[in-house]
Amino acid sequence: MAKKLLIVDDSPTELKLIMDVFSGPEYTLVTAGDGEEGVAKAGAEKPDLIILDVVMPKMNGFQACRTIKSAPETQSIPVILLTSKNQKSDEFWGKKQGADVYLTKPFDPAELLKAVTGLLA
């Protein structure tokens, strides 16, 4: 059965790059263009995993992750923060918000796939 991934990124280019990694039949992809939409779709779609950008309008990825991880209906969904914020303090803060994995852009497709596969296993 296909795993449902929610990919949240405000950049159409980044969204396409991420989606290309999961283009096979084993994944069903749902997308959102900002943190607010991502939180709403997390609740409505109940994805198996969420890939979340940090720097976005309306609600940033840290806020979205915290909201998803604090809601009973979505708290068990694994979250990967995939962001251009590459400081150790950013990673620390991301993990404090509930992120299961913190990866930085530009990302290695194999590393992202490995993280997703590991969290879904």
Say how many C-beta atoms besides its own lie within 10 A of residue 73's C-beta: 10
Q: Could you tell me how many residues make up the chain?
A: 121
pLDDT above 90 for 73: yes
Could you report the per-residue pLDDT of 28-52, keeping only the tens digit for each?
999 999 999 999 999 999 999 999 9
- Closest to 99 (Cα-Cα) out of 85, 78, 119: 78
Task: Please give the mean pLDDT across all residues of the chain.
Answer: 97
The reported pLDDT for the residue numbered 1 is: 87
- Rounded percentage of the chain residues whose pLDDT exceeds 90: 99
